[in-house]
Amino acid sequence: MTKSVLLVGVGGQGTILAGKLLTQGLMEAGYDVKMSEIHGMSQRGGSVSSHVRYGEKVESSTIEPGQADMLVSFEKMEALRELKYLKPDGIAVVNEHEMPSMPILTGDAVYPKNAIEEIQKHVKTTVLNATKMALELGNAKAANIILLGTIIKAMKLESIDWESIIKKQVKPAFVELNLKALQCGMNAVE
Amino acid sequence: MKYLLTGDEAIARGAYEAGVHFASAYPGTPSTEILENLATYDEICAEWAPNEKVALESAIGASIAGGRAMASMKHVGLNVAADPFFTFAYTGVNGGTVIISADEPGQHSAQNEQDNRNYAKSAKVPMFEPANSQECRDMVIEGYRISEEYDCPVMIRMTTRVCHGKSIVECGERVEVPVREYKKDVKKYVCVPANAKGLRRNLELKLAKLKKYSESTPFNVEEFNTSKVGIIASGPCYHYAKEVFGEDASYLKLGFSFPMPDEKIREFCKKVEKIYIIEENDPYIEERVRYLGFSCHGKDLLPKYGEMTPDVIKKGFFGEETKTIQYDDTTVVDRPPTLCAGCPHRGFFYEVGKRKNVMVSGDIGCYSLGFAKPYNAIDLLLCMGGGFSIGHGAQKVFNMAKDNKMRVVSVLGDSTFLHSGVNSLMDVVYNNSNTISVILDNRITGMTGHQENPGTGYNAKGQEANMIDIEGIVKAMGIKHIRTIDPNNINEVKTVLDDFLALDEPSVIITKWPCALKKFSKEDKEQFAGAFTKSMTVNTDKCIGCKICMKSGCPAISFDAENKKAVIDGIQCVGCGVCSQLCPKDAIEWKEA
């Protein structure tokens, strides 16, 4: 069976690197893998998403609404926006971090207060503050690797040699930080 | 060796393995990464051209001289390059040539959704349609082979999901192909009518041979599972269709879709009870199938625009949608793209957006966001380089009214100016327009992710190159009123707009400040010393909560509703200083280092 993981967030949050590490690991573990991402306007603070699908043989590279086994949101409001992609029995992981969009910054709209509650009403949800956790590890940018850790745990991919994937893909100075971040994320999921 | 590659990376890899000598492109989503990747290979001379027409023309020259050549562009880029494209089909090649068109079903980052398969048919250029990254690599290699065997340029039509989608690619090694001998052959390469008529006749002979190739190539492949339903699909639609129908349908996958394999289509259609055509954009395959005398379902059930992803196919053929979670998403707020913190376009749009009786003629680039709130500045936007010329035509008509008060301010970026805006500015000065033409020079091609251009002083390989002096070009055209300003200085923007709106002849403003995300070159470091090194903060004792600073539309500024004060995110702020000039209470101050 093909599995589908949807990573969503805001441009600049590192969803693309997390998706890259995930797909690299899956390929090296022998899976057929496809990833689709839209990043035309991503640097300008728009919503971004990476669709990752893996299995014995993967056809479509995109995840359709109601089909994702797992939704990993790097930002709280984005989780609520994209919840429609999750299977009714899928797993959600939400980074509590808030990034207000321009209509909120200008006071034309308010940041949703009910995001977590609304999501928890419908699906099994892990809520964590990956941004804060990463800061505690020494670098807010490692939040994406913490979230990658949640995927590995929730999708039962622990047997893949993630340490070697990270060593190959990440600058040496950041390897230790990223390995810690990965473990941190894995521990955050029951 | 197996790699996980995007379609763009796989095209570059295929070109490398095929021994390509020369490649040229103009950046455009989703095609940009093809040339960026080609530029990483020492064996390939890979260049950014000022526009797509120039890119294709350089590739044509490289081919005629005997090299294997590539030109890549986004779909609308082929409109710009259409002139040489059509006639190149007549001359044919010396060294094999592959032209990449990256189409955008669903318009993820483009102004239209045109289907460039029509170009292949219209120009009579053979065409491949890859469905995944492996095919991108394989079709490029095969493309060079048939380009040389049949003496024709070859087009590869990609789409966004193929360009930016990653899948596993089995790669090989580079095979060096010697540059072919150049022989002068005016009957082949000089397209005066006397020669071109012969080339036109000859093109039909080539197409007849290519039709045979289309019937035999393994890229047009049948997968027979059942006689109930037969699906004909091209590009990623093949995978989408298999995702939905699996083994419950038979497939004819068209990887080489011009010329069409009519016999293969006939054979397939005769074997199945129902024929479904699944393709993105126009009913290109469907019309051919109907022409061959088979009735089928396609655009009668599926949308005529957008992507044909599995959910769209399910809805079209079965009327059903996948079960989704029903939840309350009414509180979700849009997240439109915005000008970044420190964007040098901010000060200009803040000021021009306030003007009455001004039409702002826009262009393609990050500055297109000047149409949006809170600037509400730009009135129109159509195509690359059109800002100045569309503005010119508008001004001419406004001026026909008695007591006309409407003035046009036209804007475009440095890369767009060099792309084709330079011709538009000639029109403005030659036909004496009193429009104000503004070149928003942020020292880089911004929107597509920071590619060098002829104005930056570096080439596609990051080597030092001649730096075209934009102000010098404007001067050479004979424009008398030119001012180069710092767009972060609101007073300077205001003064130049006042001065030039009072003129009755052409004028040019150059706003010169680097993109806040740009990696500074050594020239930038000298010229813009100290830029983006500090940040600003709100002095809460002085802030009266008037929100005027928020009219700058900066993502680093938010409003603390509880304390009724503006807040600046010190991580995002790079200290352009625009907001501090708007503040009536001087409450925005430099942050102590």
- Cα B261-B207-B131 angle, rounded to 5 deg: 45
Strands B358-361 and B407-413, bridge-based pairing: parallel
Phi and psi, residue B358, nearest 5°: -125, 130
Q: Distance (Å, rounded) from C-alpha A143 to C-alpha B114?
A: 39
Q: Distance (Å, rounded) from C-alpha B558 to C-alpha B458?
A: 37
Q: How far does A50 lie from chain B, in Å, by closest CA? A: 9
Tell me, yes or no, if A164 comes closer than 8 A to chain B by beta carbon: no
- Both tokens of B100, joined, read 């990449």
* Of B243, B327, B333, Cβ closest to residue A104: B333
Contacts A78 to B, Cβ<8 Å:
335
Q: Look at residue B348 in the predicted model and tell me its pLDDT.
A: 98
Q: Distance (Å, rounded) from C-alpha B415 to C-alpha B27?
A: 10
Measured between CA atoms, the residue of chain A closest to residue B167 is: A34
CA dihedral B398, B400, B404, B407 (to 10 degrees): 30
Tell me, yes or no, if A138 comes closer than 8 A to chain B by beta carbon: no
- Both tokens of B126, joined, read 């053979």
Q: Identify which of A87, A83, A92 has the alpha carbon closest to the alpha carbon of residue A67.
A: A87
Tell me, yes or no, if B331 comes closer than 8 A to chain A by beta carbon: yes
A156 torsion bin: left (phi>0), alpha (psi -120 to 50), beta (else): left
* Of A27, A33, A80, Cβ closest to residue B329: A80
* Of A35, A115, A123, Cβ closest to residue B165: A35
Beta-bridged to residue B254, according to DSSP, are B220
Tell me, yes or no, if A123 comes closer than 8 A to chain B by beta carbon: yes
CB B197 within 8 A of CB B122: no
Q: Distance (Å, rounded) from C-alpha B591 to C-alpha A169?
A: 36
Q: How confident is the model at residue A43 (pLDDT cuts 50, 70, 90)?
A: low
* Of A23, A40, A60, Cβ closest to residue B239: A60
Phi and psi, residue B136, nearest 5°: -55, -50
Phi and psi, residue B437, nearest 5°: -100, 125
Beta-bridged to residue B221, according to DSSP, are B253
Q: Distance (Å, rounded) from C-alpha A151 to C-alpha A56?
A: 19
Measured between CA atoms, the residue of chain B closest to residue A85 is: B324
- Both tokens of B579, joined, read 């907001």
Contacts B243 to A, Cβ<8 Å:
59-60
Produce one character per residue of B101-127: b if its CB has 16 or more CB atoms within 10 Å, e if not. Answer: bbbbbbebbbeebbbbbebbbebbbbb
Tell me, yes or no, if B75 comes closer than 8 A to chain A by beta carbon: no
Contacts A32 to B, Cβ<8 Å:
167-168
Q: How far does B8 lie from chain A, in Å, by closest CA? A: 12
Tell me, yes or no, if A177 comes closer than 8 A to chain B by beta carbon: no
Measured between CA atoms, the residue of chain B closest to residue A78 is: B332
CB B279 within 8 A of CB B289: no
DSSP single-letter state for residue B473? H
Contacts A40 to B, Cβ<8 Å:
29-30, 108-109
Residue contact B167–A58, C-beta within 8 A = yes
Q: Distance (Å, rounded) from C-alpha B514 to C-alpha B330?
A: 39
Tell me, yes or no, if A3 comes closer than 8 A to chain B by beta carbon: no
Single-letter residue type at B279: E
Bond prior to B30 in cis (omega within 30° of 0): yes
pLDDT, averaged in runs of 10, over chain B (593 residues): 96 98 97 98 98 98 98 98 98 98 93 97 98 98 98 98 96 98 98 98 98 98 98 98 98 98 98 98 98 98 96 94 91 92 97 97 95 95 97 98 97 98 98 98 93 97 97 98 98 98 98 95 95 95 95 92 91 94 97 76
Q: Decide: helix, strand or coil at residue A100.
A: coil
Cα–Cα distances in Å, from B210 out to A171, B26, B91, B204, B308?
49, 29, 16, 10, 29
Q: How far does A112 lie from chain B, in Å, by closest CA? A: 5
* List of residues 6+ apart from B202 with CB closer than 8 A: none
Residue contact B161–A36, C-beta within 8 A = yes
* Of B325, B449, B555, Cβ closest to residue A102: B555
Q: Look at residue A102 in the predicted model and tell me its pLDDT.
A: 87
Residue contact B559–A47, C-beta within 8 A = no
Residue contact B160–A80, C-beta within 8 A = no
Contacts A60 to B, Cβ<8 Å:
236, 239-240, 242-243, 309-310
Tell me, yes or no, if A169 comes closer than 8 A to chain B by beta carbon: no
Q: Among A34, A125, A139, which would you mutate to test the B interface (most chain B Cβ atoms within 10 Å of its Cβ)?
A: A34
Q: Distance (Å, rounded) from C-alpha B207 to C-alpha B213?
A: 9
Tell me, yes or no, if B320 comes closer than 8 A to chain A by beta carbon: no
Q: Identify which of B354, B350, B359 has the alpha carbon closest to the alpha carbon of residue B390.
A: B359
Q: Distance (Å, rounded) from C-alpha A98 to C-alpha A131?
A: 10
Q: Distance (Å, rounded) from C-alpha A73 to C-alpha A13?
A: 10
Residue contact B336–A102, C-beta within 8 A = yes
> Order of strands, edge to edge, in the sheet holding B2-6?
A124-128, A86-95, A68-73, A3-10, A47-55, A32-38, B165-170, B2-6
Q: Which helix (H) or strand (E) covers residue B350, if one does?
A: helix B346-353
Residue contact B310–A62, C-beta within 8 A = yes
Provide the terminal-to-terminal Cα distance of chain B, rounded to the nearest Å. Answer: 50
For residue range A133-190, what is the model confidence (pLDDT) as tens digits? 999 999 988 999 999 999 999 999 999 999 999 999 889 999 999 999 999 999 999 8
Single-letter residue type at B539: N
* Of A59, A67, A77, Cβ closest to residue B322: A67
Q: Among B161, B325, B554, which would you mutate to test the A interface (most chain A Cβ atoms within 10 Å of its Cβ)?
A: B325
Query: Is the pLDDT confidence value at A40 over 60?
Result: no
Distance of CA A167 to the CA centre of its chain: 20
Q: Look at residue A140 in the predicted model and tell me its pLDDT.
A: 86
Cα–Cα distances in Å, from A138 out to A143, B265, B343?
11, 61, 29
pTM listed for this prediction: 0.96
Measured between CA atoms, the residue of chain B closest to residue A46 is: B337
Single-letter residue type at A180: K
Contacts A62 to B, Cβ<8 Å:
161, 240, 307, 309-310
* List of residues 6+ apart from B185 with CB closer than 8 A: none
Tell me, yes or no, if A171 comes closer than 8 A to chain B by beta carbon: no
Phi and psi, residue B38, nearest 5°: -60, -35
Distance of CA A165 to the CA centre of its chain: 17
Distance of CA B317 to the CA centre of its chain: 32
Residues 231-270 of B with CB under 8 A from A: 236, 239-240, 242-243
Q: Look at residue B561 in the predicted model and tell me its pLDDT.
A: 84
Residue contact A112–B555, C-beta within 8 A = no
Beta-bridged to residue A70, according to DSSP, are A5, A91
Q: Distance (Å, rounded) from C-alpha B35 to C-alpha B18?
A: 15
Q: Among B167, B350, B579, which would you mutate to test the A interface (most chain A Cβ atoms within 10 Å of its Cβ)?
A: B167
Q: How far does A44 lie from chain B, in Å, by closest CA? A: 5
Residues 53-112 of A with CB under 8 A from B: 58-62, 64-67, 77-78, 80-81, 83-86, 88, 100-112
Q: How far does A180 lie from chain B, in Å, by closest CA? A: 24
Q: How confident is the model at residue A41 (pLDDT cuts 50, 70, 90)?
A: low
Q: Identify which of B499, B516, B517 has the alpha carbon closest to the alpha carbon of residue B508.
A: B499
A 10 A CB-CB count for B182 gives 12
Helices (H) and strands (E) in chain B, counts: 22, 22
CB B55 within 8 A of CB B35: no
Interface A-B: count of C-beta contacts within 8 A: 170
Q: Decide: helix, strand or coil at residue B206.
A: helix
- Both tokens of B420, joined, read 């084709």
Maximum pairwise Cα distance, chain B: 82
- Both tokens of B82, joined, read 């259409």
A 10 A CB-CB count for A57 gives 8
Q: Distance (Å, rounded) from C-alpha B359 to C-alpha B325?
A: 46
Classify the C-alpha dihedral B438-B441-B444-B449 as positive or negative: negative
Q: Residue A73: how many CA atoms within 13 Å on its side-chain side?
A: 28
* Of B167, B339, B373, Cβ closest to residue A106: B373
Can you tell me which residue has the tokens 């019937």?
A: B215
Residue contact B555–A23, C-beta within 8 A = no
* List of residues 6+ apart from B196 with CB closer than 8 A: B87, B90
* List of residues 6+ apart from B480 with CB closer than 8 A: B505, B506, B507
Tell me, yes or no, if B166 comes closer than 8 A to chain A by beta carbon: yes
Q: Which helix (H) or strand (E) covers residue B230, if one does?
A: strand B229-233
Tell me, yes or no, if B309 comes closer than 8 A to chain A by beta carbon: yes
Tell me, yes or no, if A30 comes closer than 8 A to chain B by beta carbon: no
Q: Among A22, A102, A117, A165, which would you mutate to test the B interface (most chain B Cβ atoms within 10 Å of its Cβ)?
A: A102
